[in-house]
Amino acid sequence: MLFNVEKILKLIWLFVIICTTSLITFYKLTGIEFDSTFYILLFTFLFSYLPFTIQYKKFHVKQQQELLVINGCIATLIVAMVLPLPSHAFLYFIPVLSILIQNNKIFYIINSVVLISYMTSDFNSYIEMFSQTAVFICFIILVRYVGGLIFSSMRRNFYFRKMINALVFAIETKDVYTRGHSLRVAEYTYILGKHYNAFGGKLDLDTLKIGAMLHDIGKVHIPDHIITKEGPLSLEEYSEIKIHPEYGAEIARDFDYPSEIIGDILYHHERYDGKGYPYGLTGNEIPITARIIAIADTFDAITSNRSYRTAFSIDKANSIIAENFGTQFDPSLKEVYMSAFPELSKKKVKFESSNYLEERRAI
């Protein structure tokens, strides 16, 4: 439910590959020459979705819809201008443009008019007219269906992120000392994930960042007097705090979040040496994403003020973390952490000079 845009784009490309391969095979086997409409469909699909597929993650969710439509329009225009097509071919441009209209009825009225213009264009025979009209109708329906699917998943993703933002805000208003913690941990985790991938890892950074953003969501269940307590916690209070990963995972399950995110929330306090909580898992029993979040979580905890102590310097935090690889943290991540450290430090400095509410709005 989370990354439908990616899944839909994969389906589109699978569709293009299957159609192209089967059509080429068909034409090769029968000796029939390629029809110009085949080129129109193939090129329009390729250029309508290829730049979008490559670039869309670099844009904010709010801008992705416009990006897709602009991409589709430019691509169709280029295809209509460049390819040696009959004059009516440029009508393929209109369905792509009209997916901007978020209303099925209006979309189909506009495209029915376009369809009539298309059918009354110059064709060499009735057979050609009927075959090309059939392809054109399929094109209109496909454009609408695929556009609708992508737009609705973009909207879902947008509201999903808004909901995450609201949940995190709800936890962080409880304690002024941890305000901004989730956002900072999400950013640090993203940096660590990026470096992990540069060393050959294959993490989905978007999912990883959301897992990190939500890691402490279970704290909504912890009584305020424990969260905001100045000074050390009693054993009883500490055992109450230790339940927050399980509470958080339960909330994430209720929201039907992906299993990777549930795992990140549940295991972010596990330690490599098995001395963590809630289950005391060791080594590779802990998902790699949770092992990365644990480093980011500690980096932020050490470099931030708490009700019971002031923040450590970045260099002190660096030496504390470096000493704990092999015990608290996965030793195989030491190289990743070392390479990410300069970027983590820069980010920390940037957070110190920025406004919490502005940072939240930028998510």
| Nearer to Fe ion among residue 243 and residue 338 (C-beta) | 243
Please state the closest distance from residue 252 (CB atom) to Fe ion, in A: 13
Angle at 124 between CA 131 and CA 91, to 5 degrees: 60
> What's the rounded Cα separation, in Å, for the pair 283 and 109?
61
> What's the rounded Cα separation, in Å, for the pair 70 and 105?
22
Bridge partners, 325 (sequence order): 329
CB atoms near residue 56 (< 10 Å)? 21
- Report the amino acid identity of residue 23: L
Please state the closest distance from residue 290 (CB atom) to Fe ion, in A: 11
Q: What angle, rounded to 10 degrees, do the helices at 126-172 and 205-213 form?
A: 30
CB 270 within 8 A of CB 290: yes
| Nearer to Fe ion among residue 68 and residue 185 (C-beta) | 185
For 47, the 3-state DSSP assignment is: helix
CB 203 within 8 A of CB 289: yes
Distances (CA, A) of 255 to 2, 198, 214, 252, 267: 11, 32, 12, 5, 18
> What's the rounded Cα separation, in Å, for the pair 106 and 114?
12
Interaction site with Fe ion (CB under 5 A): 216
Please state the closest distance from residue 268 (CB atom) to Fe ion, in A: 6
For 73, the 3-state DSSP assignment is: helix
| Nearer to Fe ion among residue 51 and residue 278 (C-beta) | 278
Residue nearest Fe ion, CB atom distance: 216
> What's the rounded Cα separation, in Å, for the pair 313 and 335?
21
> What's the rounded Cα separation, in Å, for the pair 300 and 158?
27
Please state the closest distance from residue 244 (CB atom) to Fe ion, in A: 6
Catalytic residue, candidates 162, 202, 219, 348? 219
| Nearer to Fe ion among residue 172 and residue 216 (C-beta) | 216
To the query of whether residue 316 is one of the catalytic residues in this protein, the response is: no
Please state the closest distance from residue 265 (CB atom) to Fe ion, in A: 9
- Reading the block at residue 330, the tokens are 């996965």
Please state the closest distance from residue 297 (CB atom) to Fe ion, in A: 6
* Greatest distance between any 2 Cα atoms in the chain: 88
- The residues annotated as belonging to the active site are 219
